[in-house]
Amino acid sequence: MDLGRYVWIGMANGHIWELDTSEGKEVASRTNLHGEAIIKMVRVGSGMIIIDEGGKMSIWMPRKNGAGVLALVTLDMQPFTQRIPFDHKVSLPLILGDQLWVATDPPHDRKHQAKEAFGRRRSGPSITVHNPFADNKPFNALSRPATIPPEMLDSVGSITSGAIIPMQPHVVYLGHESGHISIWSRDRLQCQSVLMCTQHGITSLAGVVNFLWASNKAGKIIVYDVSERPFKILKLWPAHTEPVIGMRVDSFGINIGRLQVASGGQDGHVQIWDGLLATDWIEGELNKREREFCTHRPIRTLQLTWNIDAAEPEDLNADQENFEFLPRFLSSGERPDIIIFGLQELIDLEDKRLTAKSLLLGKKKVGHELGDRISSQYRKWEDKLVSAVRLALHADEPYTLIHSEMLVGLMTCIFVRTAETGSLRDCALGIVKTGMGGRYGNKGAIVARLVVDDTSMCFVNCHLAAGQRHVQRRNENVLHIIENASVLEAGMATKAAALMAYVGGGNGEMILDHEAVFWSGDLNYRIDMKRERCLKHLSNGDLQPLLDADQLRREMNENPRFRLKTFNEAPIIFIPTYKFDRHTNQWDTSEKKRSPAWCDRILWHDRGTNKVMCLDYRRCETTVSDHRPV
């Protein structure tokens, strides 16, 4: 039998057609089997199952040919039929293995909502399981619907998809519109656990060899290693520009040495992916043998992150300490090959008139007053940094400004030793807005990329949501920045060149496509401690209690879903960088009296290769802002 030769088509009027794709003609049709729209048609082994909107099922059981070998069924064969309770508006049929799982949302009528309002626990989706192809099992596998235990149900949404991983046939994974994945025992038909996996709703799941593929409403596909809890993300990429509708695995392709996964999106495209992740395997093998074909040399970077609180460059001329700040910073170690300045709050973000104009008029239509003000401040600081680099470092080995970008209050300038510019390629810049749900640039990130020889580097300068209690909002900002599709233009002219420079099969469009990622800025994570206690520990020179209460360290150590969890930070041996009265070394004495915090940080990510080494991590001293640079 030619696999894939015959195609069955289900119609909205319930009619079914069988086409011979080789001959290009109809070979059979059934017009009286179903009277309602066909919503599910799946091949199961050598059998077929069709379900319509009314819950009627037609099942073609596998049959053997004259030689006793299982043969594919044909449409003109007589199926047996069965009807199940089913409401296509709230029910979702899933074929998992040789079983039919039907997920049904709870009622949402006023009476039901009133019961929940008066203290009854929220009910989640219910699941019925059926055995349509089993002769030796009851058709209904459960006497009553299965549900997610109440203690696991918090914020879990409707079921959208399901999958079984071939190497784990006794486990079912169900995807939810809330971004959760629930894990079920196929033997006991019980929910074992629920994990929050993505901030975007899951649209489809697929089991591929021993990994779980998930797609979401943001158009991304994520590959999970489910052997760890929480799941380990092996790969994430933008598959479609619109939500992914579904994924299908070509399980028969393995017979000819390939395993393909097809995804369809609302963008009208179908993409074909390598289910074996061969590129990632090749990358892993190359990394194991890197010493056989690679030579390495050190590159020294000097990085500064500083929230300048709308200070002017002229403010650094106020006294000797501030005047010497930039020269002192630039000469603080051996001569760097790359210098990265990341500034935040270039303009006053609390100026309501200014920010309202920026929000309403947008970057291209911004009013002359605002545009002139931002441009003037930007030019002043760029000129100041160019001058400082030229004066502080020897003129016989000059530096070239290769990147300079701004986003309302953010500014990034990257200098490279001119002698190194011949080793550079694939330089690119991108911006990500996180303010006002991603529509406004008062918060966000500037992302810069450069490739030195065959090593890709990414520098992120970000300003995250403020507020002592807004940890979750900051985490969401981080997630939005990291998972932003195509934040940078694709790099490298050839796939082979990209394989050498980028990682994870990426092409340089996403932040984690790079071998080394440096994440810096005013991250705004605070210290969960009363101001009085905080100041007492500082007066005693005891930083450890403050570090233990630092929100960023807690998220990195304790939150399995935090996207900066795999990043590194050098030991903090300096006092907090925020908040001071301007032009003084006095902790905040304003009406709000904010607690000290290490808002300003520099992290890095090198995929565990230990190729990045922090030589010095310190606070710099200048009083022109309410923050101290790092």
Q: Is residue 491 part of a domain?
A: yes
342 and 429 part of one domain: yes
Q: Give the CA distances from residue 277 to residues 58, 335, 504, in Å, rounded to whole numbers and listed in that order.
A: 37, 41, 9
| Mean per-residue pLDDT, 588-601 | 96
DSSP states of 37-73 = -EEEEEEETTEEEEEETTSEEEEE--EE-TTS-EE--
> What percentage of the chain carries pLDDT values higher than 70?
90
Q: Give the CA distances from residue 50 to residues 39, 71, 251, 309, in Å, rounded to whole numbers and listed in that order.
A: 8, 18, 20, 64
| Mean per-residue pLDDT, 595-604 | 98
Q: What is the CATH number of the domain that holds 35?
A: 2.40.10.480
pLDDT in tens, 178-234: 999 999 999 999 999 999 998 889 999 999 999 999 999 999 999 999 998 889 989
pLDDT at 154: 84
DSSP 3-state assignment of 469?
coil
142 and 75 part of one domain: no
pLDDT at 117: 47
Distance, CA of 209 to CA of 234 (rounded, Å): 14
**Between residues 100 and 251, the one the model is more confident about:** 100
Please say which residue of 43, 61, 83 terminates a domain: 83
- pLDDT of 324 higher than 50: yes
- pLDDT of 438 higher than 60: no
| Mean per-residue pLDDT, 528-534 | 97
Strand partners, 212: 207, 224
Q: Is residue 287 part of a domain?
A: no
> What percentage of the chain carries pLDDT values higher than 90?
72
For residue 373, name the pLDDT band (cuts at 50, 70, 90): low
Q: Is residue 425 part of a domain?
A: yes
- pLDDT of 111 higher than 80: no
Q: What is the CATH number of the domain that holds 182?
A: 2.130.10.10
Distance, CA of 422 to CA of 442 (rounded, Å): 35
Q: Is residue 622 part of a domain?
A: no
Q: Is residue 623 part of a domain?
A: no
For residue 110, name the pLDDT band (cuts at 50, 70, 90): very low
247 and 395 part of one domain: no
45 and 119 part of one domain: no
Looking at 335-339, 349-353, 498-502, 571-575, which range is the least confident one? Answer: 349-353
Is residue 407 within 8 A of residue 444, CB to CB? The reply is yes
265 and 302 part of one domain: no
For residue 364, name the pLDDT band (cuts at 50, 70, 90): very low
Is residue 158 within 8 A of residue 83, CB to CB? The reply is no
Q: What share of the chain is helix, strand, coil (3-state, %, to 5)?
A: 20, 35, 45
Mean pLDDT of the chain: 90
pLDDT in tens, 248-301: 999 888 778 889 999 999 999 999 999 999 888 888 888 888 888 889 999 999
Q: Give the CA distances from residue 168 to residues 95, 132, 147, 185, in Å, rounded to whole numbers and listed in that order.
A: 16, 21, 22, 10
Q: Is residue 617 part of a domain?
A: no
pLDDT at 436: 60
Strand partners, 455: 452
Tokens of 167: 């190497």
Q: Residue 162, Cβ neighbours under 10 Å: how many?
A: 24
Q: Is residue 479 part of a domain?
A: yes
User: What's the full length of the chain, in residues?
Assistant: 630
The tally of domains found in the chain comes to 3
Q: Is residue 625 part of a domain?
A: no
302 and 242 part of one domain: no
**Between residues 230 and 451, the one the model is more confident about:** 451
DSSP class of 468: T
pLDDT at 1: 47
Q: Which domain holds residue 119?
A: 87-276
Please say which residue of 276, 302, 329 terminates a domain: 276
Distance, CA of 349 to CA of 352 (rounded, Å): 8
70 and 122 part of one domain: no
155 and 10 part of one domain: no
DSSP states of 270-301 = EEEEETT-HHHHHHHHHHHTHHHH-------E
124 and 152 part of one domain: yes
For residue 215, which of 228, 229, 197, 232 has the smallest C-alpha distance? Answer: 197
- pLDDT of 610 higher than 70: yes
- pLDDT of 138 higher than 60: yes
pLDDT at 489: 84
pTM over cut 0.75: yes
Distance, CA of 223 to CA of 275 (rounded, Å): 10
Q: What is the CATH number of the domain that holds 540?
A: 3.60.10.10
**Between residues 356 and 33, the one the model is more confident about:** 33
What angle do helix axes 471-482 and 551-558 make, rounded to 10 degrees? 60
Please say which residue of 56, 83, 110 terminates a domain: 83
- pLDDT of 2 higher than 50: yes
Q: Give the CA distances from residue 174 to residues 108, 186, 191, 214, 278, in Å, rounded to whole numbers and listed in that order.
A: 22, 12, 10, 10, 27
Distance, CA of 116 to CA of 242 (rounded, Å): 35
312 and 244 part of one domain: no
454 and 317 part of one domain: yes
- pLDDT of 496 higher than 70: no
DSSP 3-state assignment of 356?
helix
pLDDT in tens, 139-186: 999 999 999 999 999 889 999 999 999 999 999 999 999 999 999 999
pLDDT at 62: 82
- pLDDT of 494 higher than 70: no
546 and 409 part of one domain: yes
Is residue 172 within 8 A of residue 184, CB to CB? The reply is yes
